Chains A and B, each alone.
Chain A
Amino acid sequence: MSDNFERLSQLLPTLLVDTAYEQELLAASGAVGERLLVAGSQEAQPFSLLAMDEPLLAPDWAPLFPIDAEYGSILSIRAVNIDGEIERFHSAADFQRYCGGRLEELIACTVQLPIPLLERCPLRFLLLNGTTFQTLNKKAAGCTGCVIVAAADAGGFSEDYQTLCDWLTSERCVADRVSLILTQRAPRFNPALEIMAETMLKREKVAVFRCSLGRGSGLSPARALDHAVRDILDRCGDSVENGGIDGSVICACCARLEEKLRTALAETEADGEEAQRQEKLCRSAEKSFHAMAETDRYSLSDLLTQKENADIRTEVRAMFAALRVALPGLIDDAAARSDNPKEDLRQLTGDYLSDLMDKFLTDLLMEFSESHLIPRTQERFDQVIERFQRLSSELSMESFDGEIPVSLDLLKNEGVNIGDYRTAMAVVISRVITEGGKALVKLLAAVLAGEYMSPASFVTLTNVLNKAGETISSFMEQKVDSAMPLGLYTGSLKKAVLKKLDSAEQVLCDQLDKSVFPRLYSLLDEQFLQMSKDYENLLHRQGDRCVERERAAARKAEQIREQLRHVEELCPGAASEM
């Protein structure tokens, strides 16, 4: 075999394209020595040419495996069945007996015959049946030429013949090494067959031998086969020695390979360009996400209008006003109904007010959250998410695993699984605001405690007013004798409590402005920034992936170009011949 053949067979498995077919084709042409294929469809029965004194197979038997005929001094038949068992026979009658009903089980058969022709060239008999290039590569592997057997009275050649001829001419490049036997069972004869065969084989003067399989004039099967084989061998000489067939097959292979490689190269380059384009998109999306987060701040400070802000204060003032009016009556009522009025009032008036205030403030903030903050925040969140979704679909971010990064730490803290993020979003936001709101009420209380009470003060609004209660009670103890009449006692209590309420109202309104809402906005702002950052990171990682893809594509393209050069070296201009 030639060097090129060797090089090509080594090159094939390393190529970046699928070369299974080329490897088969090369293997089919790679055997040493001369061997001819005798192939025909059922009507022509190539096996009938094997007939010696008696037919090897019954006329209607049609094995789908090839039968190899080789020279031997006596008749010997070696059959391999599906289990790999080998049986040997020394007469056609024995073989026929064995085959009766068991032909299906056979997968290979070699016949040794004392025919001098076979000494010069072994033959392989094959029945064409739904033939493809792939089956021919396998079943006709190692054959260096072909005797086509066809029925002389056929209207034309079937598809199987067409495939066989295409394979012989374009894939195996052995069109010159083909002869045709036309078998006759009846006197009819189609004179157009010869011309058709020449067309199919793309050459002139195909040697045709007529063979009689019963009635009609023509050569005997053995003679026809002998003539057909000798015609090929004598006319073309020994193919193996001059290496001509190898060269042509290599060119056929290379032509196919070049085409495949060029297609792969184009695809790889396109993939690289697409990756580059996507990377640019990712980078610019990342920048614009960042810019939006930095500059727009999602307009969070405008979540409430001035009027709405003022409404909150109006509510607070109105509540205090109403409380001032109601409180004396409440105290009187409690004093009247208690069995220990002085002690009960001293202990619990402060608690009552602080609980009331705590609840009122929480409700107030919650209600504003539900009616204004939550829907408006939801809107802003949705804008960001929609933007991201639009981008991710533009970027065809398949690698994006579907988990939208809703980075809300409070929720994470609770270990809640964010499956359906859109539903979860509303929950998240209301929780942020609820938690935030509650924390703020407490924060506010702490601020109150820190700013307005002594360091040893109580620590929530409850305690601010508890402290007021304590102050009241100690005031009572100092100024008011517990033996004092109840009316006088409660009167002093009312005066002290109302005075405390005045300052509490002022503090509350101030803190709403200075602390509560700014803190609430900054809390939301933090969440938005974090979310935006998570998206930015996602985009950044996607961009990095694109760069990687781009680099991989460039590397692959370079490899393909290199391989293309190797293939071109093996058979220059192969592609242009196609």
Chain B
Amino acid sequence: MRFEYFGTNWLKEGFIFPSLSDYIADTKERLRQPLSVPAYATAGEAERIQRFSQLTQDNPYLQRASFAEAVRQEGENWENLRAVPYGEYPELYSVCIFSSKMLTGIQPIIFLYTAKTLGMLYNACALDYQDKVWIYISDQLFKEHGMLKAEELCYLVGHELGHTQCHHATIRSTTSYGSDKEYSADRAGMIVCAKWMLTHIPGCQPQYAAQLAALYGTATLLKLEVATANGPDKTDWRTAIDYEKLQRDMDNVFDGAAKLSVSTGSHPYTRHRIMAMINFSQSQMLYRCLGLNPNDYPGLCSDEHLQRLMSYQLTNQ
């Protein structure tokens, strides 16, 4: 049972509060509903979501407890939480609204935080519970001038919303995490990033947007890594990333001409994620998620093939 409009003429008409009992019954029913599986989820991801959905049949408060635990854990890493009004960070606001429309369809509440740990300094986070979504972004990302382009911000926010859409925070307290959770979130980030470019760059072709989405995804990962390594305010973001060189490196990787060079990430896990993003940028799944007919674009890899590539990566990382 949802709250209907009470009207504020309660003074005149008397306050009639909805029944707590009905509210409890209704909420429990909703908490027992199976969780949705996003279109870009890997096979393992989909299976985990379904398994969790079955558990909630017996324990409807499982999701709620997971959410409370996630909030408690994340909350230990930050302070000075404040909502982002439109006027102060118009770009961030636009990106968040855009990303939410693309993925969750729920208007998010956007917060900036001041990180208490290095891990959260160059980071963001998203949480959801029932019909609410919260996006948290580190204020450090905006203190350092010119750190992230709009496309990269799209990737970052899309990535975090991808986590919520795949119910990672909800599931983690009950099931062991799949190692592919970052891969799914990266896909969500790329979808938002590509759609952003298709919407905002006049005449942008899907192939170009897909390729750039992988590039900006990679650039974002590298930037966050570089920033964390250098420490706060130590990086000159005008020269930190050579996009053209990065693109050449990524093209070589795709052509099988070379392995990822050092410039594309020192952390092995990051390199695997970049590989996965390159694969996804050439996949039918991405085009479908962008609302396009993949058959119009020959040479894309099929869902099965993409899954095989992913399995190969997961076993070799």
Contacts and interface: CB of A to CB of B under 8 A. Distances in A.
A44 to B, nearest CB: 73
B11 A351 contact: no
Given A322-B15, A463-B71, A449 B10 contact: no
B67 to A, nearest CB: 9
A359 B18 CA distance: 12
Contacts of A367: 7-8
B76 A456 contact: yes
Interface string A429-450: 0000000000100110010011
Interface in A370-413: 409-410, 413
A466 B79 contact: no
Interface in B1-30: 3, 5-8, 10-11, 14-15, 17-21, 23-24, 27-28
B272 to A, nearest CB: 33
B90 interface: yes
Contact of A450 (B18, B27, B81): B81
Nearest to B72: A456
B111 A459 contact: yes
Contacts of B71: 456, 458-459, 463
Instruction: Determine the interface band of chain A, counting residues with CB < 8 A from chain B.
Output: 35 or more
Contacts of B85: 439, 443, 519, 523
- Interface of chain A: mostly helix, strand, loop or mixed: helix
B17 A356 contact: yes
Contacts of B75: 454-457
A470 B72 CA distance: 11
Contact of B19 (A333, A355, A409): A333
Nearest to B15: A322
B78 interface: yes
Interface string B80-113: 1111011100100110010000000000010100
Interface in B208-238: none
Interface stretch (A9-17, A80-88, A217-225, A340-348): A340-348
B132 interface: yes
* Max count, chain A CB within 10 A of own CB: residue among B24, B72, B76, B82: B24
Interface stretch (A71-79, A128-136, A313-321, A565-573): A313-321
B134 interface: yes
A364 B5 CA distance: 10
A336 to B, nearest CB: 8
A200 interface: no
Contacts of B82: 446, 450
A403 B76 CA distance: 50
Contacts of A337: 21
Nearest to A438: B107
B243 interface: no
A460 interface: yes
Contacts of A458: 71
18 contacts: A315-B10, A318-B15, A322-B15, A331-B20, A347-B61, A348-B24, A352-B23, A363-B5, A364-B8, A368-B8, A409-B87, A413-B93, A439-B85, A446-B81, A450-B81, A463-B71, A466-B68, A470-B68
Q: Which 3 A-B pairs have the closest CB atoms?
A: A456-B75, A322-B15, A330-B20
Interface of B: 3, 5-8, 10-11, 14-15, 17-21, 23-24, 27-28, 61, 64, 68, 71-72, 75-76, 78-83, 85-87, 90, 93-94, 97, 109, 111, 132, 134
Given A330-B19, A351-B27, A359-B6, 15 more contacts: A314-B11, A318-B10, A318-B15, A323-B17, A330-B21, A349-B20, A352-B23, A356-B17, A359-B3, A360-B6, A368-B8, A413-B93, A450-B80, A456-B71, A470-B68
